[in-house]
Structure 1
Amino acid sequence: MVVTYADVAKRAGTSTAVVSYVLNDGPRNVAPATRERVLTAAAELGYRQNRIARALRSGRTGLVGVLTPDATIPYFGELTRAIVRALGDADRFALVSHAAVSGRSERQAIEALLSAQVDGLLITAFWPDQELPVEIDVPVVYVHHKPDGVEGLLVESDNTHSVRAAVEHLRSHGHGAPAFWAGPDDVGPTGERTRAWAALVGDDGTLYRSGYSSGEAAAEFRRQHRLGTPARSLVVASDVQALGILSAAYQLGVRIPDDLAVISLDGSAETAFTAPPLTVVRQPVESMAARAVGLLTGRPDAGESLGSLIVRTSCGCDHDV
């Protein structure tokens, strides 16, 4: 049996108009006690909102497109999950597209999400600077990174704060200026982290670069080892690179942290289970997600997004697993 507004109104002892105001979140306010009666009646009757009908009435679908490059990358997986939870808390439904996994470009993925009549977009993926983005005609908030020259708000972590926390902690172990392991270029947040490190250590630090996969980082670490240019302490821009470095160090007999102290700057959950467990600056994915959803839904949060140092073993500290 299909449950209607009239059924809910009869159970709640109110009018169908009031039921509509409650279930469609407006356009008029309803007293809290009446609202609670309507919601209770709807739940007892098993009322299910017709999203298509609601969209026709309000001009909104309640759908928000979420674009991420690849959820198998731990950091982006955690960020995407945090965004989906935050959207659920805001009574929105996430329509998630993984551009890299689907084989589509970011442009194609955005076009597909827009064709689904989403009310807005939350984008964590980014495209090369030379590729022009598709024209977006709904509200959009970028999370983690916003390409140059595009419209939209950005919610990001304070990368300078994260780098400073890592550098100061390694210096507290008496290592001097730590080296930095960056990406192949200085685009986006990794570039911000690289520049923050350079400003802190000046000419005293060594900069290494590799691609963002664990395999590329491991290969470059082995090459640097053959060249005889080992660092004593190292800040790594991403967890995926750090995993490759730990693997190559183990194969080469480089002891972590005795020979090389390491801190990674993403802080995904998997880093607690490496050998040894990685000291990290955990990025505030939950607060970033909440701020992004707030901006998209008109409930902005002015709080800062600061990473937090999580001390384990790879930096040289004692750590009880």
Structure 2
Amino acid sequence: MTLGRIPGIWAWRKATRSLERSLTNRSTSLYPAALRLANGNLLPRSRSRAAALAPNRQVTRNDVAALARVVPSTVSYVINNGPRSVSVEARERVLKAIATLGYHPSDVARSLRTRRTKTIGLVIPDITNPYYGEMTQAIEEVSFQRGYTVILGHSSHLPERELRYSQVLRSKQVDGVILLPETTDLEPVHFLQRAGIQVVILERIVTGYPCIIADEHHAGYLATRHLLELGHRGIGCIVLAGDSTSSVAREEGYRLALQEAGVSPQKNWILESESGYIAGDTVARCFLKLPERPTAVIAHNDLIAIGAMKAFSEAGLKVPGDISVIGFDDIAAASYVQPALTTIAYPKRQMGRAAAEMLINLVESGEIGFAGQQKLPVHLAVRGSAARPV
């Protein structure tokens, strides 16, 4: 019996040849529509290499490197713009290979390397209010420009929902969160801080945290002062129901302006309301039931103000002839209702952009810290819903 016929040796040789064939054909198996040349390069047929990949197989960094004739780390340097430089020729080959193969880097893999997910969270109190829509759009624009995506949550003015969203955002490993806490319950803010997640606060001052706010106190003062200058002395105020810090600040401004004018506010002229057109309509009808109604009403936001105007009109009152109305926020609809709504204009887009820039700068600095507070001015937008009392 020859050595080649010994069963154990024969089986070993057979297995070795099978392994050699597997290794030789490994690259070609990735591209079944390509031919391997003697020098090891792949010669594609008419189909693209992306189409030639095995069905349902995800393109990898190694595939890109093989097609671009570079090492895998070079592909990473091109995608991440560093840390090492890549020649113009190699970069072009890598980019062409990425486009040809339709390669998409793994966000999970990148986050493991950089400890960042390039995502930020945003929790707003009222998704139906266009005021927050404009602010959200500005936040998303800045984030996208800087390579981040935004995960949006809607708290419905409820601190328990705000906390739940904070917990979910932590589980998603976001790099930072923009919060708009309307109430005095700061547990969501503290929860994120304990989790080591950078937070930026919009629309209120929270000691020790970076904040972007509008001058809410001055806003309430401006609206009231305008009506006083028109000659009104009976000025009602619709505040937001619940523990809203912005509503409290506006009411303080309202009371200060009345005090300076020597006017005492009437208790039954300060009414609470939920946010929204329907809520504004409902609360306005409460004024109509009073034995003596005010000659002007300041509403917590434009949605409430527009709803109130509808109720007054349906009751036979002319706005502003019989009763004047002022809102807050200056949403787009304020210019289109009849009469156009006089309101306090807020820098919504500026606030959103400032919050996004502040958060991303803090995230990229690698520090959880305090970046100061920015207070942005508001102004009176005079239109047609407020006039001198008759």
- Bin the TM-score by the shorter chain: 0.7 to 0.9
Gaps of 5+ in 2: 1-49, 51-58, 363-370
> Within 2, Cα distance between the matches of 1:43 and 1:311?
55
Question: Mapping of 1:68-217 within 5 angstroms?
Answer: 68-100=124-156, 105-126=161-182, 129=185, 132-133=187-188, 135-136=191-192, 137=195, 138-145=197-204, 152-175=209-232, 178-184=235-241, 187-202=244-259, 204=263, 206=265, 207-213=269-275, 214-217=277-280
Q: Is the 8 A contact 1:181 1:235 kept in 2?
A: yes
Shift of 1:87: 1.6
What is the alpha-carbon distance in structure 2 between the residues aligned to residue 38 and residue 233 of structure 1?
A: 70
Q: Secondary structure at the match of 1:227?
A: coil
Query: Structure 1 residues 162-171 or 225-234, which shifts more?
Result: 162-171
Shift of 1:275: 2.7
SS in 2 for 1:259: coil
Structure 2 CA distance, aligned partners of 1:301 and 1:89?
Answer: 23
TM-score (norm 1): 0.79
Give 1:154's aligned amino acid: C
> Normalization by structure 2: what TM-score?
0.66
CA distance in 1, matches of 2:94, 2:375: 35
Alpha carbons of structure 1 residues 286 and 19: separation in structure 2 relative to 1, 3 Å: farther
Could you say which structure has the larger radius of gyration?
2
Change (3 A) 1:101 1:168: closer
Q: Distance between the aligned counterparts of 1:169 and 1:246, measured in 2?
A: 18
CA distance 1:180–1:114, change in 2 (3 Å): same
- Report the CA distance between 1:212 and its aligned residue: 1.8
Give RMSD over aligned pairs.
Answer: 3.8
Question: What is the distance in 2 between the residues matched to 1:228 and 1:283?
Answer: 35
Residue in 2 aligned with 1:55? 111
Runs of 5+ consecutive residues of structure 1 not aligned to the other structure = none
- Quick check: 1:179–1:208 contact (8 Å CA) kept in 2? yes
For residues 214-225 of structure 1, the aligned pairs below 5 Å read 214-225=277-288
Is the deviation greater in 308-317 or in 99-108? 99-108
Matched with 1:313 is 384
Structure 1's 101 and 230: CA in aligned 2 closer, same or farther, altered over 3 A? closer
The Cα offsets for residues 56-100 of structure 1, whole Å up to 9 and x where unpaired, read as 110000011111233112322332222222221222100112234
CA–CA distance in structure 1, aligned partners of residues 72 and 234 of structure 2:
69
Q: Distance in 2 between matches of 1:38 and 1:237?
A: 59
Deviation digits for residues 255-280 of structure 1 (CA, Å, limit 9, x no counterpart): 11111122111222222222322112
Listed one character per residue, the Cα deviations across residues 138-185 of structure 1 (whole Å, up to 9, x for unaligned) are 001121236x78x63221111133234323433443335744322235
Distance in structure 2 (CA, Å) of the matches to 1:5 and 1:282: 55
Kept after mapping to 1: 8 A contact 2:199/2:359: yes
Matching residue of 1:247:
310
Per-residue deviation, residues 88-121 of structure 1 (Å, max 9, x unmatched): 1222100112234999722222111111111111
